[in-house]
Amino acid sequence: MSRRDDVNVAEMVREAALCAMNDAGIGPSQIDAVVIGSAPEIFEGVNSPENWVGPAVGAGGKPVMRIHTGGTVGASTGVAAFYHVAGGVFDTVLAVSYEKLSDGVAQYGLSACYDPLWDRDFACGAPALVGLQSNLYLSRYPGVNEEHAAMVAVKNRRNALNNPHAQLRREVTVRDVLDSAPIATPIKLLDCCPTSDGAAAMVIAEDRTARRLCPRPAWFAGVGTCSESPYVPHVDMAYPESCVRAAQQAYQMAWVYEPLRDLDVAEVYEAFSFQELIWSETLGLCSPGGGGRLVESGATAMDGELPVNPSGGVLSANPIGATAMIRQVEAAMQVMGRAGDRQVPGARKALAHAWGGAIQFSVVTIFADEV
Amino acid sequence: MDLKEPRLVFLEANNSCPYRWSTGEIVGSFLTALRDHGKLLASKCPACYRVACPPASYCEECGAAATELVEVGPTGVVVSSAGVEEPWAGAPLDVPFCYVLIRLAGADTSLLHLAPNDGSVHPGSTVRPELRPERNGSITDIKWFVAAGEVERGGP
Amino acid sequence: MIEAVKDPGEPENPVREVEGSLDLRFRHSYGEHYDRFYREMRDNRRIMTVKCSRCGAVLLPPRPYCGFCFSEADEWVELPDEGTLLTYTIVHLPFKGQPTEPPYAYAFIMLNGADVQFPHMLGEVEFDDIEVGMRLKAVWSEDRKGTLHDIRYFRPA
């Protein structure tokens, strides 16, 4: 994940698809259906991209579905593929998701996400949206401050050193973050994710096939999705209900009662450092207002009670359409024991979280090493 | 209180979004050969021998990696055509034209391009490319495909 | 006819990208609700919106249904052009289509009586003096055209 000038979009996605299929020891002929996800077409400037990407990943002659749910699309794609198999309709499904932001100008795409008859003129993309979210959060909890967010950035950027797929692999200090250029207060440059090119893929299979293909598969233990709208009454950007509900659905399925205790590792979608504080609360890792204390205590560090974002998180790489699936892949690899230098020892149950849109979509997926 | 005219019916919005699409090596080589030598290249699949123009680094038929480039054309046979009598603003050409699918000599796939809409080109016609004198490495370095007989009579 | 291309050597500047643009033109339909909302701002210098017939929420932007309980929202009410600051951010990032040069204060304002935020900008206030919860009042433009810019900004009340 970084800028990929050497491949076109279809080739980039094919790399990920081949990687997943080769890893599973299968070829396209053993894939029954393909699910393809990416964020709005305006980012790459090619409409109906599944027409272009599909043949590159061996989708010819198969059922193909394209998924789009804002920034959660990668996770929704994985969940859709899971539904394909869990519903008993298909045995083996390939899920791919991607983004090649360097082909276009991301701002145009982000700007067009807003209603031209309402707030498109005022909206300023993701940084301003999350700036609004973060200020609401900080004003509600005076005990949480920008330093806590900086601690998140320090932790995740350090974790990225163990991840060969991360784009940003250089440590930062709290001072570096606090002194970096303001983007949309309280967010500063080093509180932000980069723009990246990247793709992710998963092969999802039913029970017997999975056990035949893989000595230690990662099982979908819990899935939760929920959406809300930014322009309805009772919305709370600092504690989005959609995330709380998605987490509850997934926890119920996966027998997670106390997340901090029952989960071994979490990959959350922190496009901006402040968000990891907020998602810690909406995912129930701590109580509302406790996000700052949680990161400060070291509980979410690599040697803490529940490591969060051992991959380096979204702060280290953000190919938008792929990012949420990358959280799933990272979580799955943890319970498969294949996370390399970023492996959390003995991880058996892992959470992957995603948010998207104008903070309106949430997807929570839990993987376990047994069901 | 009363509301005045005019009513608000439509909001006009114009967005021009710039792109720089990475081609990858195979498509890049196709465009380079077209720009520099006026040649048409195709990719040949090592597994099923399918020759695809325009080329791709993978075979869309069998999924194998395809990195061998072969020259195809320059002539081809028109497989299908659809005529445009009145080009719209932003159309590929500002004179009447046809969209054509062309099976270039040696290729197993059809290339989408343009041809004159004056009755000279129709399904079954043999055509060859009319290259632009100034080329910059895009598919429009070929203006359109004209009936092969015309060029042989001393065309451009 | 078919022969593998002999390696001509690497060209000096091989093509590796294609430049272009998508020129997109739209005519977005206002619909009756936006039409009324914006003409009220343009012609009558006031903010009118709808109220849900079932849950009573006062909604923004106005639309024929309530996004919360999905009932009809057909009663029009007038909102004062005053409210409190729900949240804000000082935008420093240059961005397509911004209302003004950065830095500027982008705000979500809870107008008195509304149940959904009103997006706008703050003016006549130092950035360091902005506080969530502060009371605000709209400053209207004399040259109104039927857009959110018919209000220039909100200032401390």
Span A253-276, mean pLDDT?
Answer: 98
Instruction: State the pLDDT at residue C1.
Output: 35
**Interchain contact, A42 vs B17, CB within 8 Å:** yes
Q: Is the pLDDT of residue B151 over 50?
A: no
**Interchain contact, A8 vs B17, CB within 8 Å:** no
Instruction: State the pLDDT at residue C3.
Output: 42
What is the H or E stretch that residue A148 is in?
Answer: helix A146-159
Q: Could you give the angle at the alpha carbon of A117 between the alpha carbons of A114 and A119, nearest 5°?
A: 45
**Interchain contact, C34 vs A187, CB within 8 Å:** no
Encoding tokens for residue B140?
């429009």
Pick from B75, B45, B76: which is nearest to B61 by CA?
B45
Cα of C32 vs its chain's centroid, Å: 18
CA distances in angstroms from A181 to A150, A153, A177, B27, C92, listed in the order given: 13, 15, 9, 40, 9
Place of tokens 């909604």: C59
Segment B6-49, tens digit of pLDDT = 999 999 988 889 999 999 999 999 999 999 999 999 999 999 99
Most A CBs within 10 A among C52, C91, C110, C153, hence the mutation to make, goes to C91
* C123 CB-contact burial (10 Å; exposed 0-12 / middle 13-18 / buried 19+): middle
Segment B49-104, tens digit of pLDDT = 999 999 999 999 888 999 899 999 999 999 999 999 999 988 999 999 999 999 99
Which of A189-193, A194-198, A232-236 is least confident? A232-236
Instruction: State the pLDDT at residue B149.
Output: 75
Encoding tokens for residue C73?
């929202």
Instruction: State the pLDDT at residue A221.
Output: 98
SS3 B145: strand
Instruction: State the pLDDT at residue A272.
Output: 98
Segment A175-188, tens digit of pLDDT = 999 999 999 999 99
**8 Å CB contact between A75 and A182:** no
Residues of A in contact with B11 (CB under 8 A): 116-117
Q: Who wins on pLDDT, A170 or B14?
A: A170
Q: Is the pLDDT of residue A224 over 60?
A: yes
Rounded CA separation B99/A90 (Å): 39
Q: What is the CA radius of gyration of chain C?
A: 24
Average pLDDT, whole number, for chain A? 95
Q: Is the pLDDT of residue B154 over 60?
A: no
Instruction: State the pLDDT at residue B150.
Output: 52
Segment A95-128, tens digit of pLDDT = 999 999 999 988 888 888 889 999 888 878 899 9
Q: Is the pLDDT of residue A231 over 70?
A: yes
Q: What is the DSSP letter of C52?
A: -
Chain C: residue nearest B18 by CA? C21
**8 Å CB contact between A161 and A171:** yes
Residues of chain C falling short of pLDDT 70: 1-10
SS3 A344: coil
Left (φ > 0), alpha (ψ -120 to 50) or beta: where does A299 sit? alpha
Instruction: State the pLDDT at residue B42.
Output: 98
Rounded CA separation A113/A70 (Å): 9
**8 Å CB contact between C22 and B17:** yes
3-state SS of chain C: helix, strand, coil percent to 5? 15, 40, 45
Residues of B in contact with C3 (CB under 8 A): 70-71
pTM, 2 dp: 0.94
* A234 CB-contact burial (10 Å; exposed 0-12 / middle 13-18 / buried 19+): exposed
Residues of A in contact with B22 (CB under 8 A): 4-9, 100, 102-103
Could you give the percent of chain A with pLDDT greater than 90? 91
